[in-house]
Structure 1
Amino acid sequence: MKRIVPLMIGLLFCVNFTFAQTVIDGSEEGKRGDFRLMFYNVENLFDCFDDSLTLDNEFLPMGERNWTWEKYQKKSQKIAKVILAAGGWEFPDLIGLCEVENRFVLDGLFKIGYLNNTGYQIIHRESPDRRGIDVALIYQPETFHPIDTSFLPLIYEGDSISTTREILYVKGKTNTDDTLHVFVNHWPSRWGGQLESEEKRIGAAKLVKKKVSEVFEVHANALVVIMGDFNDYPDNRSLQIELNALAPKNEFCTNKLYNLAYPYLNKTGIGSHKYQAKWGMLDQFIVSGALLNKSGVLYCDPENMSLFKPDFLLETDRTYFGQKPFRSFVGYKFNDGFSDHLPIILDLWRK
């Protein structure tokens, strides 16, 4: 039996809180699938302690961001609020997170904080990222049982070691006896320019493609879900050509990949992230055709990816007009918000 969100937990976040699913594709509010996946770039969820092995000095009490224990706790509570709201009256079954500093901040969310009674388990390890930010997969053991876990190191051409966050691969069984192959990604940023940094994301795409190909070699009907902040759009080379994630159409090949974020591409005012005046979908779900062809008990349709954007995750954009994500920082100024990204959700349905 799935865990239901306790009423008392909801009351802890009663200010501007709603369980209603707000999506940009016009889906009916409150409607959710039988198995819900969520991905969220939580924008620098750092603790306030110095890690001598990473470049985290700006997130210290005396650092550039004046990052205190009080600010860290407020940030952690806000992320918990988002997870609770995004689940509706049941928790998300799988949650992919990126921009988390370490296991301490994850335990602060799921083992000590407001989510400590939710039963979530954590898959994470420290990555070689110079800033110390990692990816993680959080799962409900009642609905997902990990069988195999790999952390795939991304080594740039010309380097001998990895210096960035790894790609997390988890193979697991669902409570419907389906096997899901889940990838959690946070590809290299566009820092320095989109074209100048493109080869790094192409390297990430090739790494994921190699592992996906290995999965398909064993099982051509594999149910694959690739989630993440790709720092590229669905029609960029890394995703469209190197990963070969196609736009979903009417017919699907079981061992090909389809990017469910394509319908959101280049739509005015729609996206998971806003850069200056332009919204864009950097955060995406990519699935194998087997999920769209209903090869297992669990399946999805091309429109089953949604963007979670309740009012409390947005604020007025006084520079470029409209709204923008209510982020934690604007430059180095503490904004007391949630994240510079909006969460995305994928609902799987049971036949």
Structure 2
Amino acid sequence: MAERHFLAFWNLENLFDTADAARSEGLAKRLARELKGWSGAVLDRKIANLAGAIRAMDGGKGPGILGVCEVESKAVLHCLAAAIDGDRYAVVHADSLDQRGIDSAFLFDTRRYTQVPNAVFTHFVMRRTYTRDILQASFRTASGRELVLFANHWPSRSGGRFESEPYRMTAGETLAHWHNRVHEERGENITVLAIGDFNDEPFDRSLVDYAQATNTRGRVTRARSVRRFLNLMAPLVGAAEGSYVFDGQPIMLDQILAGRSAVSGAAGLAVDGPATILRPPGVKAAPRPFKRPAVKGGADPDGFSDHHAVGVVLRET
């Protein structure tokens, strides 16, 4: 049977270090109010909850590679990785210039994957100031297949969905540019996936017109002048599924986009089946946020995140 690879992405909802952790003076001031009461004990509980849910992914085997966002530091990521399964997972992280200090990153199973050296890049997106990077990293399977991943956390809808949309269009254009650059540097037969919290849905312009993501397989495999992604979450939108809830309605902000070789299998790895929403054990419908002590209602000690994770299987061809 062809080797199977399970990839996932999860917005971890403000996985900050403790309130008294070392920070720049400006960042410490910006976070002081929202991190009031965010103690070591609270952080440990959130990490334990997240780790349990991550271990449960893929039928209890855990993800091969997990993209994450809304994490403050490499130190916090190492704590999460250790809580998941000792030294099984390694971390790929780069500090962004986001004003709240939250970054994107990867955790990967060192028993099955190696990180390609000198192939980690941070692509910044501007929203008056720098915000929420796109983190690019490459991994190799045990059989030598290479996988290029982009972890995305696009600008939020704060200020209004349509008022803020141009910033996500810029993020989509940035992703499309670096998707093209990968192929210009490496050729057409390289497996590329973009995963993340896009803060827009599969049918929004930032994804369709700027990131060049479509729900039509043929448009991806036949495209020549424009390199496109297949949006693997689009079919779930019609089924009223969502990774996030807004005004009581599910919306699909977290998505997985597959490049042409990932769709066709031309580079030795192919998407196998639809992408799925991954709910933590015991969570049946809407996400169960952990929140923070300073937020109205306080932290939920049995919560996880305000987003569901999303996952997909790749098989070697």
Q: TM-score, normalised on structure 2?
A: 0.88
Question: Does the CA-based 8 Å contact 1:58-1:67 persist in structure 2?
Answer: no
Farther-moved stretch of structure 1 (238-247 vs 85-94): 85-94
Instruction: Report how many residues are paired.
Output: 300
What letter is aligned with 1:335? D
Runs of 4+ in 1 over 4 A off after TM superposition: none
**Residue in structure 2 matched with residue 231 of structure 1 by the alignment:** 199
**Residue in structure 2 matched with residue 58 of structure 1 by the alignment:** 33
**Residue in structure 1 matched with residue 51 of structure 2 by the alignment:** 80
**Residue in structure 2 matched with residue 332 of structure 1 by the alignment:** 296
For 1:311-330, list aligned pairs within 5 A.
Answer: 311-314=281-284, 323-329=285-291
Share of identical aligned residues, percent?
Answer: 29
Deviations 1:179-236 (A, max 9, x none): 2110000000001101110111111111111111111223122211000000000110
Alpha-carbon distance between aligned partners in 1 of 2:55 and 2:178, rounded to the nearest angstrom: 32
Alpha-carbon distance between aligned partners in 2 of 1:59 and 1:116, rounded to the nearest angstrom: 30
What letter is aligned with 2:307? H
Question: Does the CA-based 8 Å contact 2:56-2:281 persist in structure 1?
Answer: no
Match of residue 98, structure 2, among 107, 121, 129:
129
What letter is aligned with 1:43? E
For 1:1-351, list aligned pairs within 5 A.
Answer: 34-50=4-20, 51=23, 52-54=25-27, 55-60=30-35, 63=36, 66-111=37-82, 113-117=83-87, 119-147=88-116, 148-156=119-127, 159=128, 162-218=129-185, 219-249=187-217, 252-253=221-222, 255-268=227-240, 270-301=241-272, 303-314=273-284, 323-329=285-291, 331-333=295-297, 334-336=299-301, 337-351=303-317
Question: Does the CA-based 8 Å contact 1:33-1:347 persist in structure 2?
Answer: no
What letter is aligned with 1:304? P
Alpha-carbon distance between aligned partners in 1 of 2:234 and 2:110, rounded to the nearest angstrom: 31
SS at match of 1:155: strand
Gaps of 5+ in 1: 1-31, 315-322
- Pair 1:297–1:212, CA change in 2 (3 A): same
Question: Does the CA-based 8 Å contact 1:75-1:328 persist in structure 2?
Answer: yes
Aligned-residue CA RMSD (Å): 2.1
Alpha-carbon distance between aligned partners in 1 of 2:192 and 2:296, rounded to the nearest angstrom: 38
TM-fit CA distance, 1:33: 7.3
Question: Does the CA-based 8 Å contact 2:92-2:107 persist in structure 1?
Answer: yes
Alpha-carbon distance between aligned partners in 1 of 2:238 and 2:159, rounded to the nearest angstrom: 23
**Residue in structure 2 matched with residue 29 of structure 1 by the alignment:** none
What letter is aligned with 1:263? P
Q: TM-score, normalised on structure 1?
A: 0.80
**Residue in structure 2 matched with residue 5 of structure 1 by the alignment:** none
- Pair 1:310–1:172, CA change in 2 (3 A): closer
Kindly indicate which of the two structures has a greater share of residues assigned to helix: 2
Alpha-carbon distance between aligned partners in 1 of 2:267 and 2:180, rounded to the nearest angstrom: 19
Farther-moved stretch of structure 1 (192-201 vs 142-151): 142-151
Deviations 1:260-308 (A, max 9, x none): 111012433x11111122101100000112111121322114x431111
Farther-moved stretch of structure 1 (166-175 vs 323-332): 323-332
SS at match of 1:163: strand
